[in-house]
């Protein structure tokens, strides 16, 4: 029997919406009347979160205004095509979209070690997102980090730095004027991937792995370890998140 694509998409998004609702109940990420800026990379996580927030923004109990910002990098290929697709996506969901251009990578200082491309990329993207949020009156900055990201971060910091710092669901910046929130923190990557597969959107892959020339990283090792746990991985990821939040 064939599967109705629309029904399948609604079922997958409804499941993720329950994860988002649980995060909202647990951490009070959004308040009625918020102005929310979504960091839209064009990847699977941020595009899926865009769909979820676009559905929830007019909720009777917690309505909020939603806009998105995409940070463009000079080395990225297909820039114009990516712009067009993101504009079509946001227009279809009635979400205002803005673009910001990242500064070219200056390279390491003389005699210094080059930073991993993911670190440079994340740092520059976050700088532009926070700047845009602060300058345009957005009190919340939403990012698409999920449970796997949080668990990998905790495990990586424990093994290589001796700490238990992870990815908090909410963190205030600029004396509380902008709060970074992670609405998908209770959702697993695989759950997001199943929903994303129904969205019929050409997701933008991360360019960092290609730029790094295949070099392994501490995060890769943490991810591989969690994957090796098989059926126990889900419980382990939840425990790692809980211990990092001291809950």
User: Which pLDDT does position 103 carry in this prediction?
Assistant: 77
172 exposed, middle or buried (CB, 10 Å; 0-12, 13-18, 19+)? exposed
- 182 touches 145 (CB < 8 A): yes
Counting residues of the chain whose pLDDT is more than 70, the rounded percentage is 87
Nearest CA among 45, 36, 46 for reference residue 67: 36
CA-CA distances (angstroms) from residue 94 to 54, 83, 189, 214?
Answer: 8, 16, 26, 39
154 contacts 240 by C-beta, under 8 angstroms: yes
Give residue 79's pLDDT.
86
Q: Quick one: pLDDT at residue 2?
A: 66
Assess whether pLDDT exceeds 90 at residue 219.
Answer: no
For 82-137, the pLDDT digits (tens) are 999 999 999 999 999 999 998 765 555 445 555 555 667 788 999 999 999 999 99
CB 195 within 8 A of CB 15: yes
Mean pLDDT of 164-186: 96
Q: Which helix (H) or strand (E) holds 36?
A: strand 35-39
**What is the pLDDT at residue 213?**
43
pLDDT above 90 for 77: no
pLDDT at 218 over 50: yes
Flag whether pLDDT at 44 surpasses 60.
yes
pLDDT confidence tier of residue 204, bands split at 50, 70 and 90:
confident
Tokens at 191, concatenated: 């759950």
- What's the topology of domain 5-150+166-214? Rossmann fold (3.40.50)
| pLDDT 10s digits, 2-22 | 678 889 999 999 999 999 999
User: Tokens in use for 107?
Assistant: 């390279």
Instruction: Say if residue 216's pLDDT is above 90.
Output: no
């Amino acid at each position: 029997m064939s599967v109705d694509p629309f029904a399948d998409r609604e079922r997958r998004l409804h499941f993720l919406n329950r994860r988002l609702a649980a995060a909202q109940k647990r951490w009070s990420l959004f308040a009625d009347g918020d102005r929310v800026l979504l960091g839209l990379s064009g990847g699977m996580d941020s595009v899926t979160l865009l769909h979820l927030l676009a559905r929830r923004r007019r909720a009777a109990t917690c309505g909020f205004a939603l806009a998105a910002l995409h940070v463009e990098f000079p080395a990225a290929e297909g820039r114009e095509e990516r712009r067009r697709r993101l504009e079509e996506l946001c227009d279809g969901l009635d979400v205002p979209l803005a673009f910001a251009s990242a500064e070219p990578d200056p390279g390491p200082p003389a005699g210094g070690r080059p930073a991993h491309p993911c670190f440079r990329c994340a740092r520059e993207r976050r700088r532009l997102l926070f700047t845009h949020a602060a300058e345009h009156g957005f009190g919340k900055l939403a990012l698409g980090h999920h449970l796997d990201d949080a668990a990998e971060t905790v495990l990586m910091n424990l093994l290589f730095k001796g700490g238990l710092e992870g990815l908090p669901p909410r963190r205030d910046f600029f004396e509380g004027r902008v709060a970074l929130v992670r609405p998908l923190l209770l959702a697993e990557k695989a759950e997001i991937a199943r929903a994303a597969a129904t969205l019929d959107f050409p997701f933008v892959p991360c360019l960092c792995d290609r730029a790094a020339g295949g070099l392994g990283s501490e995060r890769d090792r943490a991810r591989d370890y969690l994957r090796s746990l098989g059926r126990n991985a889900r419980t382990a990821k939840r425990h790692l998140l809980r211990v990092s939040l001291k809950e």
